Structure 1
Amino acid sequence: MTRSSASPGTGRKLTLVVLGLAALITAMLCAFALPSLHSGPHQVPVGATGPARVTEALQESLDGPNWDVRLYEASADIESAVKSGDLAGGLAVTARGIEVYTATAGGPSATSALTALGERVAAQHDASVTVRDLVPFTEDDPRGAGLTAALMPMIFGGIFPALILSSVFPGHRGLRIRLAGALMFSAVAGTAVAAVLQFGTHSVDGTFGLTALGVILGMAAMSTLLLGLQARLGVAGFAFGGALMMLLGNPLSGLATGPHWLPDGWATVGQLLPPGASGSLLRANGFFDGSGGGSAVLVLMVWVVLGIGLALIADRGGRRTTGSRSTVVARSETADTEHAELGAA
């Protein structure tokens, strides 16, 4: 009789792997396709100012799932709110016509929609329209291509250190070295990415130190999380973390369009993941002097703490295992010595 070379649990393991991969591909399709199918303005915060009867009618007609219209007393208040990132833009109804305030760097898709909205309102009142971009992209990168392209290096800046450091410094003994290496890499690579964006492609226009710190924090959040998952759950943990960053975090980051262009639920999930928080922090530091980046910093810090915490738990468990093995080896050696002495006697 021939005995099967497969172990008894092989079929069950294979089934679980196949189902898990199928679920992953399905989730990837949902993450990429569904937000795109339902993309558009979702509760975009815009300001309005002018004669009360006009702005109140405007608020009543527009306020809903697409726009969150807030009334202001003066156009200067709207300008201040747009420059600080509190508003995506605004409309000012004046005797000269309709003035549209936008912030292209805060979300180009919302800017286009708001501009079209201003033109429609102006046509209804038979008035002229003037568009003022208060927070544009830089002159050297007017479409924000560099900002959008920065997300992938930041994601890979989290994946590559975890992957390579685990190969160079494997096992329990290399765990703390891997953590230190990931943090060192984040500092060096994050500074380099910020330097390229600010001085190479001239894609961002903020304070360099603030921008660099944001990129460093984003890379550290991703790399420490992956190392922690890998240390605690092995290859499955690393695969799960990598899929979370690439297949879910990337399409839901909203970096190219702005978070208000994704459906509410998807946008919230995206901003709670490291890629989305990293992108929002880069945008805030690069164009809004850090205003509005506090929540992104908090999210990234939570991921860093979670990653390091998982690694430390794995480190503690590894030390216990190593200590138990050492005790068993020592007892075995003692027993062998006693047997040898009894035999000699």
Structure 2
Amino acid sequence: MSKHALLPGTGRKLLLVVLGLAALITTMLFAFALPSLNSGPHHVPIGVTGSEQSAQALRDNAPADAWDVRTYETPAAVRSAVEDLDVAGGLAITDDGVDVYTATAGAPSATGALTALAEGFAEQRGTQASVEDLVPFTEDDPRGGGLTAALMPMIFGGIFPALILSSFFPGHRGLRTRLLGALLFSVAAGAAVAAVLQFAAHSVDGTYGVTALGVILGMAAMSTTILGLQARFGMAGFALGGALMMLLGNPLSGLATGPHWLPDGWAVLGQLLPPGAAGSLLRSNAFFDSAGAALPALVLTLWVVLGATLALAADRRGRRSALPRPESATPATDTSQAADPHLVQADARP
């Protein structure tokens, strides 16, 4: 037999790896391409106040699959809904014109579409639309470039600990050290990222401590999840975690556009993944006084619990396998004859 012959099962394993990589690339194409091709307003919640006839006219003018029109009693109620992230924007319709309330920091892409909708509606009524941005980006970063750029350090902050800590603290004995190191890294790196965003780039407003806690929770969710998957499933788990965060979570986060700019199903999935939830929590803490922060914080906490559970389950399994196995009992030898010299002699006689 040739010394270069493949080991039994190698062909099947190779086929599974190739098919898995092909599926990963296909998923990446879906995650990046399809949401972009189908981007646009998808049931974006907007508030409207005015007469019943005006509100109904706006509903008739706005495509139902693009806008979710909600009625409020007064302009003040619409403003409060925008500032509390209940809606992405609002319109106050009067006989003199249409007042448009936007929140660019909450939904950058929806802001432009809502303004265009209001201007078209006002033109039909023979009036004009005036726009007031209630929650803008900062003056030093009016387009929110720093907020969008923050997602990549957060994602790599989840991947690097699992990759690097496993090199310094390998095997089962280093598992708990790796888990502790990932959490400590999330605290240090999260605080640093929030400090750069607020004090160096001036890209976010809000209370630094609250913003930092949100970034820390986001990094902890990603790092513990990847570390737990790696501990439980090895390199395959690490690859799955990295693909989940980078190839799926990143394009579906909606951080640059707002989640309502993605197709409905993709938007929901993106907000349930750590990158999307981390981006929403950062936006909420940095610009909206933590309004709407409860849901993304809960999602991130569940991911932390999942990652820690996988890591501790792997640790428990490793401890069991490390325990010495009990030696198999050997049958006792009957030494009664050898112990009795008279019996030995008797047996020796013919």
User: Under TM normalisation by the shorter chain, which class is it?
Assistant: over 0.9
Distance 1:26 1:240 in 2: 14
Match of 1:91, SS?
Answer: strand
Q: 1:1-345 maps to which residues of 2 (within 5 A)?
A: 1-62=1-62, 64-323=64-323, 326-327=324-325, 331=327
Shift in Å, 1:209? 0.8
Q: Is the 8 A contact 2:61 2:121 kept in 1?
A: no
- Post-superposition CA distance 1:77-98 (Å, at most 9, x none): 0000000111100111123311
Tell me the distance in 1 between the aligned counterparts of 2:20 and 2:234: 16
CA distance in 2, matches of 1:71, 1:245: 37
Which consecutive residues of structure 2, in runs of 5 or more, have no partner in the other structure?
Answer: 331-350
**Per-residue deviation, 1:175:** 0.3
Please give the alpha-carbon distance, in whole angstroms, between the structure 2 residues aligned to 1:138 and 1:164. 36
- Equivalent pairs: percent with the same residue? 70
How far apart in 1 are the matches of 2:164 and 2:93?
58
Q: 2-side partners of 1:122 and 1:327: how far apart? A: 81
CA RMSD in angstroms comes to 1.4
Q: Deviations over 1:118-142 (max 9, x none)?
A: 1101110110110000000000000
Q: Matches of 1:42 and 1:48 in 2, distance apart? A: 17
Between 165-174 and 52-61, the greater mean CA deviation after superposition: 52-61
Q: Which has the larger Rg? A: 2
Q: Contact 2:62–2:117 (CA<8 Å) still a contact in 1?
A: no
Decide whether the 8 Å contact of 2:83 with 2:135 is kept in 1: yes
Taking the aligned partners of 1:183 and 1:50, their CA distance within structure 2 comes to: 51
Matches of 2:299 and 2:268, distance apart in 1: 12
Instruction: Supply the AA of the counterpart residue of 1:78.
Output: V
8 Å contact 2:281–2:296 — kept in the other structure? yes
The structural deviation recorded for 1:63 is 5.8
**Contact 1:46–1:68 under 8 Å retained in 2:** yes
Matched AA of 2:303: W
Q: Report the Cα offset of residue 6 of structure 1.
A: 1.4
What's the CA shift for 1:152? 0.1
Question: Which deviates further from its counterpart, 4-13 or 96-105?
Answer: 4-13
Counterpart amino acid of 1:20?
A: G
Superposed displacement of residue 293, structure 1:
1.1
Provide structure 1 residue ranges, at least 5 long, that are not aligned to the other structure.
336-345
Q: Deviations over 1:182-231 (max 9, x none)?
A: 00000000000000011110111011111000000000000001111011
**Offset of 1:56 from its aligned partner?**
2.1
Count the aligned residue pairs: 330
Contact 1:63 1:69 in 2 (8 A): no
Farther off after superposition, 95-104 or 285-294: 95-104
| Aligned counterpart, 1:340 | none
Per-residue deviation, 1:62: 2.3
What TM-score results when the alignment is normalised by the length of structure 2? 0.92
Letter in 2 for 1:257: T
